Structure 1
Amino acid sequence: MDPDPIQTLADLERTALARVDKVTREYWAHGAGKNITVRENATAFDQYRLRPRVLRNVSKIDMSTPVLKGLVADFPIGIAPSGWHKMAHPDGEAATAAAARALGSIMGVSMGTVVGASPEDCYSPEDVKAAGGDAAAFFQLYMFNDRKLMSDVLRRIEKAGYRAILLTVDTPYVGKRVSEIRNRPQLPRFLTTINFGTMVADTGSLKIDSSLVWEEILPWLRSTTSLEIWLKGISTAEDAALAVQHGVDGIVVSNHGGRQLDLCVPALDALPEVVAAVQGKIPVHVDGGVRRGEDVFRALALGADFVWIGRPALWGLACGGQQGVERMLTILREELKLCMGLAGCASLKEVTPACLRLVGSSAKL
């Protein structure tokens, strides 16, 4: 029997991008500006080397980790919110959510899931929740300027059974994504025509609210929903401290996969200052550029409580729907487990800065 040709996420990416058209390929691969942040999100990991310890009992490796109150993932890797999974496979977000459920992972469901030109373009939040069960725990929220609409959305996802919102705070405006501008005439209609089906009739209501401030939006959210409130898009110590001050439930260190502001600090490089500012008071998650189990290990060693991946889920979908996403998660899970074992870490609490050193340095972090 021939070996499985997909052994790494690089194999998965290569296979997936060969199966989709140019417009889809560029929509997935590219970001803002010259794609510098897209590239550096991934290459940032390579400035760290591992310091393995030996003669430790690693016969059993525990990768389970709490994510939300009463919700534990089997391993510290989740699927970050990204929109329009039907570009990759007809089963779209339902397949992604089912894969997360099957592997004991967690999924953040994109608001793009319920945004589409027509029902056939997208799934409802209820559909995705049904497919993902407890795994479909987070719902990504963009704030539009119609607060009545946003109240309706929050009530709907709360009723559907989601546990937390990921308020995306790095998008007061949409970044300049050059390939999307050039490809706009060829983009699927659900990427160029936005509505909320029967939830809103006035498409002018769907302008992103660029006036959000800490003192107003967080109290408004707390008065509107009982869901946990997480902020996705934090990348500085200053904003991390404000998040703690304003009582948010958790942070995701992220630069939107390089799709918003080019030349941002890579997410991994932003992580340590955010962790230091939070001082363990709330969970800190991270996304951006993760392509190997060793990347997950390094993010955890730098203080992340949980790691999210985005584009690889789309590659998995393109390579086989639910089974393709399961394959992607399995590769990362097994790579992380092997890395932990070879580094002498039997549990996640043993993955610390002492496991790393900077390239060119002889000292541990």
Structure 2
Amino acid sequence: MDPNPIQTLADLERIALARVDKVTREYWVHGAGENITVRENASAFDRYRLRPRVLKDVSTIDMTTSVLPSTDASPALVANLPIGIAPSGWHKMAHVDGEAGTAAAAKAVGSVMGVSMGTIVGEAPRECCSPEAVRDAGGESVAFFQLYMFNDRILMADVLRRVEKAGYRAVLLTVDTPYVGKRISEIRNRPQLPNFLTTINFGTLLGTNHGPDEKEEKKKRIGSLHIDNSLVWEEIIPWLRATTSMQIWLKGISTAEDAALAVAHGADGIVVSNHGGRQLDLCVPTLDALPEIVAAVKGKVPVHLDGGVRRGEDVFRALALGADFVWVGRPALWGLAYDGQRGVELMLTILREELKLCMGLTGCASIKDISPACLRLVGSTAKL
């Protein structure tokens, strides 16, 4: 028997998916429509080849990266590697450690974690970890809280106050979900999905009235909740700015036009994302969208990327095309399913060591050395 069965994230995926039930496996693997965007998010990286450089001093490889810029109220957040764990919901589907285990792994490796709004929607312990518990487990590594905007602004303000009080430093407003994409496997599996995947429960946040009408009041408010699909630039960012002192980042930007608008309206950062292919099938892979967004932003705010990252070389290629930081989502779930917190640490360690080797063999001693000149498009004879 191979004493080291996990050498790559592909190994981790294969073993982890074999350990979970069919419904969980399909929930993780599939996206919207025919899963074309899910596949192309990953295959987009293979259009770029690396250009090794030699006789460079790479005796020390520095992967430290600024993740959050400093503000008047707080210093910059720096990670030991340019790879973070993207927000995704319901980690207890993978392991009893749940999001707290993921956060502890991020802390141990010196990475960062984005926490899904899914951490507040359930009440039973098996369903989720609270934002406070995740923050306690990960400390400063847990800095980003992902937010869906529902139509009840009082509730949204309560959520923001709660996570800011818990120590979160940035809100990741998910802007690519005015409607939920057509996720065929979820539609087919809906009768078998756990309740917390099909019913959002904000009961622990709703209402301050402790009189006899409290339950009825909560029921009415819960029944009227839905994703606010009327959001516009001119209103939502000023509302967030007036409601929280956390940094405001937009997750789900995939065009230069929207990137320029994000900067113009005062966003603190951008995550180039198509929701892991779970919203609109046949859209542009995130790696292909990245260069036009970097050009539009002109260095005014940080640009992060998620979607399809499966190797340290993928991280390198995203950085070479202008990303300041890279997030992985599904691989964290594979790590949890494989071995809880230790499995997530293993996943991050594999990516870190692959990135380190790639940097050394391309002559890049630090993140700032990585540039488009490190890449060549397949079929081209010129560097980028």
Instruction: Please state which band the TM-score falls in when normalised by the shorter chain.
Output: over 0.9
Question: Which of the numbers 171, 174, 189 marks the counterpart of 1:168?
Answer: 174
| Secondary structure, aligned partner of 2:173 | strand
Whether the aligned pair in 2 keeps the contact of 1:118 and 1:190 (CA below 8 Å) is: no
| Secondary structure, aligned partner of 2:113 | strand
| Secondary structure, aligned partner of 1:357 | strand
Unaligned stretches of 5+ residues in structure 1: none
Q: Are residue 73 (structure 1) and residue 91 (structure 2) matched? A: no
RMSD: 0.9
| Secondary structure, aligned partner of 1:11 | helix
Letter of the 1:342 counterpart: L
| Secondary structure, aligned partner of 1:291 | coil
Question: Which of the numbers 154, 163, 166 marks the counterpart of 1:148?
Answer: 154
Whether the aligned pair in 1 keeps the contact of 2:96 and 2:126 (CA below 8 Å) is: no
Question: Which of the numbers 306, 328, 334 marks the counterpart of 2:347?
Answer: 328
Whether the aligned pair in 1 keeps the contact of 2:38 and 2:308 (CA below 8 Å) is: yes
Which residue of structure 2 aligns with residue 3 of structure 1? 3
Whether the aligned pair in 2 keeps the contact of 1:40 and 1:266 (CA below 8 Å) is: yes
Question: Which of the numbers 322, 343, 359 marks the counterpart of 1:340?
Answer: 359
Question: Which of the numbers 249, 253, 260 marks the counterpart of 1:234?
Answer: 253
- TM-superposed deviation, 1:121: 1.3
| Secondary structure, aligned partner of 2:66 | strand
Letter of the 1:252 counterpart: V
Which residue of structure 1 aligns with residue 110 of structure 2? 104
Give distance in 2, aligned partners of 1:197 and 1:216: 27
Task: State, as a whole percentage, how many aligned pairs show the same letter.
Answer: 82
Unaligned stretches of 5+ residues in structure 2: 71-75, 207-217
Q: TM-score, normalised by structure 1?
A: 0.99
After superposition, the C-alpha distances for 1:163-198 in whole angstroms (9 at most, x for unaligned) are 000000000010000000000000011101211232
Deviates more, 1:186-195 or 1:127-136: 186-195
Whether the aligned pair in 2 keeps the contact of 1:117 and 1:190 (CA below 8 Å) is: no
Whether the aligned pair in 2 keeps the contact of 1:88 and 1:314 (CA below 8 Å) is: yes
Q: Are residue 268 (structure 1) and residue 268 (structure 2) matched? A: no
Q: Are residue 131 (structure 1) and residue 137 (structure 2) matched? A: yes
| Secondary structure, aligned partner of 1:319 | helix
Whether the aligned pair in 2 keeps the contact of 1:8 and 1:331 (CA below 8 Å) is: yes
- TM-superposed deviation, 1:278: 0.2
Letter of the 1:33 counterpart: G
Which residue of structure 1 aligns with residue 209 of structure 2? none
- TM-superposed deviation, 1:117: 5.4
Question: Which of the numbers 46, 71, 84 marks the counterpart of 2:90?
Answer: 84
- TM-superposed deviation, 1:203: 1.7
- TM-superposed deviation, 1:119: 4.2
Give distance in 1, aligned partners of 2:324 and 2:378: 24
Letter of the 1:254 counterpart: S
Question: Which of the numbers 314, 321, 326 marks the counterpart of 2:333?
Answer: 314
Q: Are residue 37 (structure 1) and residue 37 (structure 2) matched? A: yes
Which residue of structure 1 aligns with residue 311 of structure 2? 292
| Secondary structure, aligned partner of 2:343 | helix
Which residue of structure 1 aligns with residue 213 of structure 2? none
Q: Are residue 191 (structure 1) and residue 191 (structure 2) matched? A: no
Deviates more, 1:348-357 or 1:201-210: 201-210
Whether the aligned pair in 1 keeps the contact of 2:92 and 2:126 (CA below 8 Å) is: no
- TM-superposed deviation, 1:113: 1.3
Q: How does 1:210-289 map to 2 (within 5 A)?
A: 210-289=229-308
| Secondary structure, aligned partner of 2:57 | coil
Which residue of structure 2 aligns with residue 181 of structure 1? 187
Whether the aligned pair in 2 keeps the contact of 1:52 and 1:342 (CA below 8 Å) is: yes
Which residue of structure 2 aligns with residue 350 of structure 1? 369
After superposition, the C-alpha distances for 1:70-107 in whole angstroms (9 at most, x for unaligned) are 21000000000000000000110000000000000000
Give distance in 2, aligned partners of 1:339 and 1:197: 48
Q: Are residue 159 (structure 1) and residue 165 (structure 2) matched? A: yes
- TM-superposed deviation, 1:116: 1.8
Q: TM-score, normalised by structure 2?
A: 0.94
Whether the aligned pair in 2 keeps the contact of 1:41 and 1:267 (CA below 8 Å) is: yes
Q: Are residue 13 (structure 1) and residue 10 (structure 2) matched? A: no
Which residue of structure 2 aligns with residue 118 of structure 1? 124
